[in-house]
Amino acid sequence: MLGMYRDVHFIGQSGAFLDAVERASRAAPMRRPVLVIGERGTGKELVAERLHRLSPRWGEPLITLNCAALPETLIEAELFGHEQGAFTGATRARAGRFEEADKGTLFLDELATLSMGAQERLLRAVEYGEVTRIGSSRAISVDVRIVAATNGDLPRMAEQGRFRADLLDRLSFEVITLPPLRAREGDIHVLAEHFGRRMANELSWEIWPGFSDTALRALEEHDWPGNVRELRNVIERAVYRWDNWDQPVGHVVFDPFESPWKPVGQVRADQPGISTAAHAPAPAPATQLDTITDLRAAVDAQEKAIVEHHLGKHRYNQRQTAKALGLSYDQLRHTMKKHGLGERG
């Protein structure tokens, strides 16, 4: 994600997001360790880079290690290095990430996946500023600022004995918790515009038409489990698939695997826990219906949203849209004119 977002910097206007950025800026000059907590796709790597670039170590290495990307048998060798012949396959001596990050910053992503053995060695490195290569008895002094990230609940893991409490104490001088996208009020629209314009420019569009009201509403209502990373994929895919440059982007696809021809598992209707009505459309919640005070306006708004959605889905091909909705071409044209759809912008 670091490379993916390096040129995006920090984009957002919500208070929760700006507070996290400000905390990272204040912690950057310190030599102390920092923990960055957040769901996947929230920008933990970006914060790590900010902590490094705004620190006195900005001219030194920023070394990254994803602790979950390596098997437990290799993680310690990656962190602390090894001597020749220390284990099978160690044909030559190799410096670890701590030595590579000397005078700079070491970013440990997915910290919660570290084995207890690696945690114990990491604790010694943090406490004494020394690492010992596997197969060696000589300690090497290193000057490394540690930034670690996780989406796990480290305090709970420490209570359960799955993470060393003393290591957690050493690493949590400052803890920066990044808000998920769904909690960043107003930022979905800002980020969607940014990613949309960038993609339109990449595709050499002459203008940026923006998004339709229906598309924006769909973006706002989505839960975004993948956060900013997911949003970028959704926006870039929507712009890339859109052919009518003079019309607002009117259709977004959240699940790229969704298809009428999507393979399905062979599930029997009589299987326990499987309901034959599982895919039936759910009725509108009663509490939502209670808020309607103008029936005609509510019906018109729903009609407009449905037509606008299908126009976007069929790339403003009006005959295909009419067929999909069971309307004649003239009926669709009348409905579009009624709701002001299809007009520029």
d(CA 243, CA 188) in angstroms, rounded, equals 23
Residue ranges matching CATH 1.10.8.60 in the chain? 182-258+289-339
pLDDT confidence band for 74 (50 / 70 / 90):
confident
Q: Which amino acid, one-letter code, is at 184?
A: R
Read off the pLDDT of each residue in 134-150 and give the average, rounded to a whole number: 94
Top pLDDT among 306 and 286 is at 306
Of 2.40.50.100, 3.40.50.460, 3.30.70.330, 3.40.50.300, the CATH number of 2-179 is: 3.40.50.300
Check residue 182 and give left, alpha or beta (phi > 0: left; psi -120 to 50: alpha). Answer: alpha
The chain-wide mean pLDDT, for the chain, equals 86
Are 80 and 98 in contact by the 8 Å Cβ rule? The answer is yes
d(CA 93, CA 96) in angstroms, rounded, equals 10
Query: Above 60 in pLDDT, residue 57?
Result: yes
Percent of the chain at pLDDT > 90 equals 60
Residue ranges matching CATH 3.40.50.300 in the chain? 2-179
Question: What is the per-residue pLDDT for 9?
Answer: 61
Q: Which of 18-27, 75-84, 146-155, 248-257 is the least confident region?
A: 75-84
Question: What is the per-residue pLDDT for 3?
Answer: 36
**Strands, sheet with 145-150, edge to edge from the N-terminal-most edge strand:** 62-66, 105-109, 145-150, 34-37, 174-177
Query: Above 80 in pLDDT, residue 143?
Result: yes
User: 182-258+289-339 belongs to which CATH class?
Assistant: mainly alpha
Query: Above 70 in pLDDT, residue 293?
Result: yes
Are 39 and 151 in contact by the 8 Å Cβ rule? The answer is yes
Read off the pLDDT of each residue in 242-248 and give the average, rounded to a whole number: 88
Nearest to 81 by CA among 143, 136, 12: 136
Question: What is the per-residue pLDDT for 103?
Answer: 97
Read off the pLDDT of each residue in 253-276 and give the average, rounded to a whole number: 66
Question: What is the per-residue pLDDT for 280?
Answer: 43
**pTM summary value:** 0.74
Query: Above 60 in pLDDT, residue 294?
Result: yes
Question: What is the per-residue pLDDT for 8?
Answer: 45
d(CA 252, CA 214) in angstroms, rounded, equals 10
Q: Which of 126-130, 270-274, 287-291 is the least confident region?
A: 270-274
Query: Above 60 in pLDDT, residue 180?
Result: yes
Q: Which of 68-72, 92-96, 246-250, 293-297 is the least confident region?
A: 293-297
pLDDT confidence band for 344 (50 / 70 / 90):
very low
Question: What is the per-residue pLDDT for 331?
Answer: 80
Q: Which amino acid, one-letter code, is at 126?
A: V
Question: What is the per-residue pLDDT for 152?
Answer: 94
> At 148, phi and psi to the nearest 5?
-125, 150
Top pLDDT among 338 and 176 is at 176
Nearest to 191 by CA among 42, 309, 313, 58: 42
d(CA 296, CA 301) in angstroms, rounded, equals 9
